[in-house]
Every structure is written in structure tokens, then in C-alpha cells.
Structure 1
Amino acid sequence: MTRTVYLNGDFLPETEAKVSIFDRAFLMADGVYEVTSVLGGKLIDFDGHLKRLERSLNELDMKKPAAFDDLLSIHRKLVELNDIDEGLIYLQVTRGAPGDRDFVFPDPETTEPTLVLFTQAKPGLSNNPTAKTGIKVISIEDVRWGRRDIKTVQLLYPSMGKMMAKKAGADDAWMVEDGFVTEGTSNNAYIVKDGKIITRNLSTDILHGITRAAVLKFAREAQMTVEERPFTVEEAKEADEAFFTSASAFVLPVVEIDGAKVGDGTPGSVAGRLREIYLEESLKAAV
């Protein structure tokens, strides 16, 4: 079935949606994005994604698209038009297409941002089988730019990291800088030791995950101890359990790092409980 997508004010068949070759996201990776999960036909953590989008735009001095205040209704319309029960909505804002390639930002008064949204149907999103089996990760050097807190479309190295993991027979990669884990290729990383949840503190070193914020909030409300600090790969290997969070995977256990079992090599109880709480509470608040 041909999807209906959104492009600069219009709902179009995906085969008819066109973006200029001069768009700065295409030429300069000059764009930001968000991915919102859909469960039961409703949007998960939408307000958090919208606030982070606004922050990313501000950090890059990028103009808001004219339809910014209508993004909730656009998301809902796409869910309806594409009959999405479980899946994802991808949103991208770029600095636009000024008419020719130039390193200098175009005048925001004469260039409108490009706004694109499309859906991805993912039946069974909330019942990911890896939540019961866990995943394997490898560690790789983090060589990305220094503003990882901005959710830009510069995703080449994370893509390379996932390919490195695949070639090594693993599922994903955790990036390491100065001996400490920063984050996964598309997720925030955690370990659990003696009942304590440990995850890297917020800074420009990592993306400020929307699911991360919700999971930590729910963890504290459940009287779990949370410590926000960097941890090493060796700490992770010696942990009782490990897991990651993301908007599309929610909470998933990590059972192996660089070939070493985490704990007894099976998903831990903390990750399992946090996944249950997150899905239950997020569905209650879905819009």
C-alpha cells in the first residue's frame, strides 16, 4: 500500500513527495529529526519529542516550520490516513533549499524550512521478542562531533556502528570515549549493580533521550535507586544486568558485551520491570 506522507503543508502519496536537490539536509546534513512511537493508534511521549525538537531547532538557530503548532494534528492525521495501530512517525525539519549550495546559512526571512513526516507500520512493536531474550552489544570508539545532545540527521557513524555490530555477530554497539560508555548507536545505555540503576548524566556528550527521562522518572517513583554518572565497559561487564532505552524499543535488556555475559547472560528483573511500567504508564498518557 502506498503511504500518505506530509511535506510542507500537503498530505501526498509517498511517490509524489519531492524535496529539492539543494535542500541543506541533503547537501550539509543541516536538519534535525524526531521519531514518535504509536501504540494502539496513539502517540507515545509526544510532548517530550516536541520540546526536544524545539530545543534542537534553537541550538542550531534554525527557523521553526510554519506548521510547528499544528504538529500534533498532523501526526494524528497521518496515523489515521495510514491506519497505524503500532508503528513510528518520523519527522524531519531542515533549514530548507535556498537555491544553491553554500556553507553560509541562508537568510531565514527568504528561506522556509522543509518539513517532512512519514509513518512506518511496525506490528508487534510493543511485543518485541528481544525483550525476553536480550541483545548482544559490542563497544566501539565514539568519534562523533561534540554536540550529540542535538538530534541532527548526521547519522553516518551510528549506522557504521550498527554495521560493525552486525559483522561481529552482535545486535548493536555502545560507543566509548575516554574509557567511558557514552550511549548506544540510537539509544541510551544503562547498567544495574546491587539494585542501583547507573546511566550517564546529561551533557552535550549524549542525546537527552525522551524515553530515558520517562524511564528514570518511573524508576524513582518505584523507589529504585538511580545514579547518573559515566560508567566503563569493564563496569558494564561486571554489572548484574544492563539495558538500553529508546523511543522505538522502549526498554530492552543487554545480555552480552564484547562477548562477555552480563550477569547470568539472561534479561534482568530491573529491565523487565521498567519495561512493564513504561509501557503501562505511557499508554495511559498517550494522545
Structure 2
Amino acid sequence: MSKIAYVNGRYLPQSEASVNIEDRGYQFGDGIYEVVHLHDGRYVDEDLHLARLERSLGEIQLAMPMSRAALSVVLREVAQRNRVREGLLYMQVTRGVARRDHAFPTKPVPPALVVTIRRVPAYPTDVDKWQAACITLPDLRWARRDIKSVNLLPNCLARQKAREQGAIEAILYDEATCMVTEGAATTFWIVDENGAIRTRFLDHVVLPGCTRAALMAELRTLGMAYDEREFSLDEMRRAREAFITSATSFVKPITKIDGNPVGDGKVGPVVRRLFDIFARHVKGDVKNAA
């Protein structure tokens, strides 16, 4: 069966789907995107992802292409037409098609919306097989990293360097302060030397991760403390445990950074518990009901 994409109001085989070469997303990266995990036919944390989409669009003065309710219908239709029950959905909204000019079109044009989906394996069952390695790199991205923009060249370059070194992610840091920001496409956490679960506070420097927010909500429900406080490379290197979160990583243990073990180099007890907590969130939390 051909993969089906939603492109500007039409459901088309992906082999036939296209966008205009003067779409501002192609010309300037003038757009916003979201990635949502579909588990057993249910979009995980859909409300968080659509809220972040709407916020990011507002930050670049771009209207939602349709109401949230209508967009939810499109997301479900794309999954149904592709017969996908376990997958990753990608949606992208750009400022649309206009004559190439850096400033916004003088006459507003309709925003462009593209939605695709692909099958992926279900939530992993073995946390020890889910562990991975990272490298560290200076954070070279633009100043408004809280906006989920399609401008991802620095992220791509960082991920490529990680791959070349046998790692799955690059942990980025501010060169001036040596303070860790986040992963190239993930939120980065540590369990520090005192046992505190920590990740950086939110501002314009990091993306407000939806998986980050969902995990924090679960921790609050369970009465487990966490600390939204930045940490340095040195503190990271002294950490007992480390992990990343995202819609594709869920809770992924990081047991090696820059070739050196994190803690004892094994999946630690805190991350092991968080992995199980988030598995329950993905598979059955009532907040995710369709």
C-alpha cells in the first residue's frame, strides 16, 4: 500500500505529494514542526504537542492552519489511511507560497500544512538494551531555541558528529559558561552526585520538551522531586546517572559520554524507575485517551 500524506487539504500518495518551490519553508525555513508518537492508535501527549505547535507559530507571527479540533481530525485520518497504529507522525506548517523575499508577504497567503506518518517499533521493553552513548559539543544554534523551527542545520551537524563517533546524540553546552543546555534533538537530564534529578530550566535557550513536561507531571503525581536547575559539564561528568527524553527517545539511559562511563557505566536505579514510569504513561495514562 502506498504511504499517504496530507498536503494542503488533500490526501495523496507520498510518491505524488509535493510542495511549491517558492514555499517559504523550502526557501527560508520559515515554518514550525511537531513530531508525535502514536501508540496503539492513540497519539501520546497530543494536547501538549498541539499547544506547543500553536505557541511556536504565534512566536513567528504565523496563524494555525486550522483549529486544533480540525487538525486532530487530520492527524487521525492520516494514521487511519496509512493503517498505522504504532508510529511517528510529522506535521509541518510554513508561511506558504510567495515570491522570494525575506520579509513576510505583503498580502497574506494561506499557511501550508504537510502531515506524514511512518511505522516504528513499540515502546522498548528492555531498558538495558535501550541505553546509549552521547558526545558533547558547543551549542551553535540560534538564540530562540524555544521555538520548534524547521531551521535545523546546526542540529543536523551535531547529530552527524555524534553518529561518526558511534553515539546517538550530541549534548550541547554554552561555550562561554560551559553550562549544559540540551541535546541536539532531546532534553538532557542527570541524576547528580547528590542523587537529585535535574534538567535545565525553561527559557529561550532550550525547547520546552513535551516528553519533559509529561514526565515531570508523572513525577509530581508520584511525589518524586526533580530540580529545574542548570548544570555544568563538570557536574555532568560527576553525575551518577544521565538520560534523555523526547517523543522518539521516551526515557533513554545514557551510560557513556565522550567515551567515558556515566557513574558505573550501567543503567542506574533512578533511570530504570523513570523508564518504567514513562512506559505506563505511554501505554495507559488516561490523559492520553483519544
TM bracket, shorter-chain basis: over 0.9
Q: Aligned runs of 1:1-287 on 2, under 5 Å?
A: 1-66=1-66, 68-98=68-98, 100-107=99-106, 110-122=108-120, 124-127=121-124, 132-177=129-174, 178-193=177-192, 194-282=194-282, 283-284=284-285, 285-286=287-288, 287=290
SS of 1:255's partner is strand
* Stretches (4+) displaced over 3 A: 66-69, 128-133
Whether contact under 8 Å (2:124, 2:130) holds in the other structure is no
Change (3 A) 1:32 1:128: farther
SS of 1:2's partner is coil
Whether contact under 8 Å (1:174, 1:183) holds in the other structure is yes
Change (3 A) 1:239 1:84: same
Using the alignment, how far apart are the partners of 1:91 and 1:149 within structure 2? 18
Normalising by structure 2, we get a TM-score of 0.94
SS of 1:140's partner is strand
Using the alignment, how far apart are the partners of 1:224 and 1:165 within structure 2? 32
Aligned-pair CA distance for 1:132: 3.2
Post-superposition CA distance 1:213-238 (Å, at most 9, x none) = 11112123222221111111221121
Aligned-pair CA distance for 1:129: 5.7
Matched AA of 1:179: C
Using the alignment, how far apart are the partners of 1:238 and 1:37 within structure 2? 33
Whether contact under 8 Å (1:132, 1:267) holds in the other structure is no
Aligned-pair CA distance for 1:275: 2.0
Runs (5+) with no aligned partner, structure 2: none
Using the alignment, how far apart are the partners of 2:137 and 2:236 within structure 1? 14
Using the alignment, how far apart are the partners of 1:129 and 1:105 within structure 2? 49
SS of 1:120's partner is strand
Using the alignment, how far apart are the partners of 2:122 and 2:144 within structure 1? 30
Change (3 A) 1:71 1:243: same
Whether contact under 8 Å (1:29, 1:152) holds in the other structure is yes
Aligned-pair CA distance for 1:68: 4.6
Deviates more, 1:155-164 or 1:129-138: 129-138
Deviates more, 1:271-280 or 1:19-28: 271-280
Change (3 A) 1:56 1:257: same
Aligned-pair CA distance for 1:277: 1.4
Using the alignment, how far apart are the partners of 2:150 and 2:122 within structure 1? 23
Using the alignment, how far apart are the partners of 1:131 and 1:147 within structure 2? 35
Whether contact under 8 Å (2:36, 2:44) holds in the other structure is yes
SS of 1:20's partner is coil
Change (3 A) 1:128 1:61: farther
Normalising by structure 1, we get a TM-score of 0.95
Whether contact under 8 Å (2:133, 2:167) holds in the other structure is yes
